[in-house]
Amino acid sequence: MAKITGIAHLAVTAKDMDKSLDFYTRVLGFKKVFEIPNPKDGSPWIVYIYVGGNQFIELFYGGVKPYSFDDADRGWNHICLCVDDIFAVCKDIEARGWTLDVQPNQGVDYNYQAWLKDPDGIRIELMQIDPKSPHAKAIKDNN
């Protein structure tokens, strides 16, 4: 039986592509790998950022309406990025001039987490999986 093998990409519509590219490449350390022009007129359309494995972030041009988030909203909440050393990653992000919304702390699931937002206000959780966490157990049990 065919199966879904993972999450391929997250798509974000950016207000200012230069600021978004700076954030995802310089601040977070990902790599811009290619662009796809609009097939209708050749204008800039999508920029792809490589995250790792089979995963990308798509940055779309043309964001006009501000993004807002409320805990009571249905739908999109945040993206969580796995890190190998949350304290070092957060230190690097701050050294690159970006402010964390929440400093690293250990959650009730034993994982360490920190929070920040991209230039368009997209909430990003950074998570270091702890060997005692239910996440670590689920990964071990399913691989």
Closest by Cα among 45, 41, 40, 42 to 11: 45
Residue 58 annotated among the catalytic residues of the structure: no
Q: Within 10 A of 2 (CB to CB), how many other CB atoms are there? A: 4
What's the token pair of residue 90?
């957060």
| 51 contact partners, CB below 8 Å, separation of at least 6 | 30, 57, 81
Element containing residue 116 per DSSP (H, E): strand 112-117
What's the token pair of residue 57?
């972030």
Is residue 120 within 8 A of residue 106, CB to CB? The reply is no
From the candidates 35, 58, 94, 125, which is the catalytic residue? 125
Strands 55-60, 9-13: parallel, antiparallel or unpaired by DSSP? parallel
Instruction: Give me the active site residues, please.
Output: 125
